[in-house]
A and B are shown apart, each in its own frame.
Chain A
């Protein structure tokens, strides 16, 4: 799976299923500012595991990696590469 494909999956899961957001939510939006919390993050990790077979180690997630969908996808992609 490419990084762009992964970004699309994460963005779609967040905007359509997990967050209550409108058109102002983009791939560059700060996830925590748009309501991502511990529960929705874990649900997102479950969706990623379902799509990729990889469980992202929560301890590697930082505030910076939640700064945008793109940044988060980059972190996840790095873990998929290592697995």
Chain B
């Protein structure tokens, strides 16, 4: 992996600041953090000791993984203070033991970690939990403050771990990289772009949205999640349908449409259809394979709007989403989104979230969604065991309280449903799952 000189401080990107703001909001209102978690299900033979040593060696070579994040002299853009990185040994890596492994539910320590806080100010950005089972298989959760990696970056990080594990001489250092968004030169241009992105958030006309949890729930964060892993035959059907209906390069719209219709089934069950669905889709601005694609987030958001009437037909809904995506890209909304995030980098974190929640009476969006495609395809073995499956668990604030993530590994689809306790009942969670699967499989 390419290396760069090691500066003493690295400024956060606009996307970093956006995520940092949500961490601040969740800490203030819900006693938790805006964290992300990646779960690896390891086959027999996994060595926890080897993993601990590996993670610490990579953290030792990369101070950004333990660097306090602060504004310089309390003003200006927040920075990773690399020269003040906390000691490697203070990164929490906890080992737990259980007899039974569930195919659908994560072990309790993973949920505990996901609902805890981390301290950006103190450089506590990452933690690991390992659950060992009696047959020497294991589940591993890497949990981090969401701004350290985005989803794609976290997979590249796992691949880096695997390379370091398989080759003790492999250089642990990872290039930090520079922001990739092209910055307009004037304040006015940036303001205009931010306004354009804001207009895209509002859509053609004001309508109300309704998330499962409702607006601004000032409650303790209590996230839980469950997996549905499909068989290869089912996954093959889904991929063929995705290719046929959504196209080769936009499978995310196929899964997004299913997620919208899943939530619509819940809303109908509640007899509370919203005026529209509003869902952000993260778009990674960094080209694949480019230097520095692991640390720091370089995502922007495309906003998708769908009326309940448009969501009545699955394939029709995908067409609506396809047109919105092309329009958004044509109109420069991705660059505008990056500029909007960058524009308010200097502002206090709470300004971000106030702005984000202002347009929809305290709601952020209808729900969160991600499709991450093939999971860490370059990583096969890690610390003596095969990586049997992997999945992402980006946390969701208590409001909107619902997140659907789809990912693939070894030709098997994993659907992860994340929810705030109480935002969806067990019955509603099952309704959502059933509708999503029915659309994916075409049943």
Q: Which residues of A contact B (CB under 8 A)?
A: 18-20, 34-43, 46, 58-59, 61-63, 66
Please determine whether A20 and B290 come into contact, CB atoms closer than 8 angstroms.
yes
Nearest-CB residue, chain B, relative to A35? B288
Please determine whether A43 and B329 come into contact, CB atoms closer than 8 angstroms.
yes
Please determine whether A62 and B287 come into contact, CB atoms closer than 8 angstroms.
no
Known: A18-B287, A20-B287, A35-B289. A46 touches B330 (CB 8 A): yes
Known: A58-B250, A58-B326, A61-B248. A39 touches B283 (CB 8 A): yes
Chain B CB within 10 A, most for which of A40, A41, A46, A59: A59
Query: Cβ of B146 < 8 Å from any Cβ of A?
Result: no
Query: Cβ of B247 < 8 Å from any Cβ of A?
Result: yes
Please determine whether A58 and B322 come into contact, CB atoms closer than 8 angstroms.
yes
Q: Which residues of B contact A46 (CB under 8 A)?
A: 329-330
Please determine whether A41 and B289 come into contact, CB atoms closer than 8 angstroms.
no
Please determine whether A20 and B289 come into contact, CB atoms closer than 8 angstroms.
yes
Please determine whether A40 and B250 come into contact, CB atoms closer than 8 angstroms.
no
Query: Cβ of B40 < 8 Å from any Cβ of A?
Result: no
Q: Which residues of A contact B325 (CB under 8 A)?
A: 42
Q: Which residues of A contact B224 (CB under 8 A)?
A: none
- Which of B294-330 touch A at CB < 8 Å? 322, 325-326, 329-330
Query: Cβ of B75 < 8 Å from any Cβ of A?
Result: no
Please determine whether A59 and B247 come into contact, CB atoms closer than 8 angstroms.
yes
Q: Which residues of B contact A63 (CB under 8 A)?
A: 248
Please determine whether A37 and B288 come into contact, CB atoms closer than 8 angstroms.
yes
Shortest distance from the beta carbon of A2 to any chain B beta carbon, whole Å: 27
CB < 8 Å neighbour of A39 from B248, B322, B330, B334:
B334
Sort A-B residue pairs by CB-CB distance and give the 9 closest, nearest first.
A35-B288, A20-B290, A38-B249, A20-B287, A42-B329, A35-B289, A38-B250, A41-B249, A35-B287
Give 7 new A-B contacts, CB below 8 A, not counting A19-B287, A35-B288, A42-B326: A34-B289, A35-B290, A41-B249, A42-B329, A58-B326, A59-B247, A61-B247
Please determine whether A37 and B249 come into contact, CB atoms closer than 8 angstroms.
yes
Nearest-CB residue, chain B, relative to A43? B329
Q: Which residues of B contact A34 (CB under 8 A)?
A: 289
Shortest distance from the beta carbon of A64 to any chain B beta carbon, whole Å: 10
Shortest distance from the beta carbon of A55 to any chain B beta carbon, whole Å: 9
Q: Which residues of A contact B326 (CB under 8 A)?
A: 42, 58
Shortest distance from the beta carbon of A14 to any chain B beta carbon, whole Å: 11
A61 to B252, CA, bound (A): 16
A41 to B322, CA, bound (A): 14
Q: Which residues of A contact B287 (CB under 8 A)?
A: 18-20, 35, 40
For B137-165 the 0/1 string (1 means CB < 8 A from A) is 00000000000000000000000000000
Nearest-CB residue, chain A, relative to B285? A39
Nearest-CB residue, chain A, relative to B332? A46
Q: Which residues of A contact B322 (CB under 8 A)?
A: 58
